[in-house]
Chain A
Amino acid sequence: MDTSWYIVLSALLFAVGAAGVLLRRSPLVILLCLELMLNAGNLALVAFSRMLGNSDGQIFAIVVMVAAACEVVVGLGLIVAIYRRRLPLNVDELRGLRG
Chain B
Amino acid sequence: MEAVAFFAGAIGALGGAIAIIALRNPFYSVLALIVHLVSLAGLFLILHAEFVAAAQVVVYAGAVVVLYVFVAAYVGGVQEPAWEPIPGQQFLAPLLGSVLFVELSIAVLGSSLKALDTDGPTIPLGFGSPGGIGRILLERFLIAFEAASMLLLLAAVGAVVLAGRRRASGEGGDGATPSERFAQSAAERMVEPETQLGRPASEEGGGPIPPTPGPAY
Binding site for B on A (CB under 8 A): 1-9, 11-20, 22-26, 28-29, 31-33, 35-36, 39, 42-43, 46-47, 49-53, 55-56, 58-59, 61-63, 65-74, 76-81, 83-84, 89-90, 92
Cβ–Cβ contact B37 & A39, under 8 A? yes
B9-30 interface mask toward A, CB cutoff 8 Å, 1 = contact, 0 = none?
0100110011011000010011
Cβ–Cβ contact B40 & A39, under 8 A? yes
List the A residue with the shortest CB-CB distance to B80: A25
Bound Cα distance A18, B64 (Å): 20
List the B residue with the shortest CB-CB distance to A59: B141
By secondary structure, the A interface counts as helix
Q: Which of B94-143 contact A (CB under 8 A)?
A: 94, 96-98, 100-101, 104-105, 108-109, 113, 115-124, 127-128, 132-133, 136-137, 140-141
Cβ–Cβ contact A62 & B93, under 8 A? no
- How many contacting A-B pairs (Cβ < 8 A)? 242
Bound Cα distance A9, B157 (Å): 36
Bound Cα distance A66, B133 (Å): 15
Q: In the complex, which of the residues A6, A19, A28 has the most CB atoms of chain B within 10 Å of its own CB atom?
A: A19
Judge if B186 is at the interface, Cβ distance under 8 Å: no
B-side interface size class: 35 or more
By secondary structure, the B interface counts as helix
Chain B residues whose C-beta falls within 8 Å of the C-beta of A8 in the assembled complex: 105, 108-109
Binding site for A on B (CB under 8 A): 2-3, 6, 10, 13-14, 17-18, 20-21, 26, 29-30, 33, 36-37, 40, 43-44, 46-49, 51-52, 55-56, 59-60, 63-64, 67-68, 71-72, 74-75, 78, 80-81, 83, 85, 89-90, 92-94, 96-98, 100-101, 104-105, 108-109, 113, 115-124, 127-128, 132-133, 136-137, 140-141, 144, 148, 151-152, 154-156, 158-163, 165
Cβ–Cβ contact A55 & B20, under 8 A? no
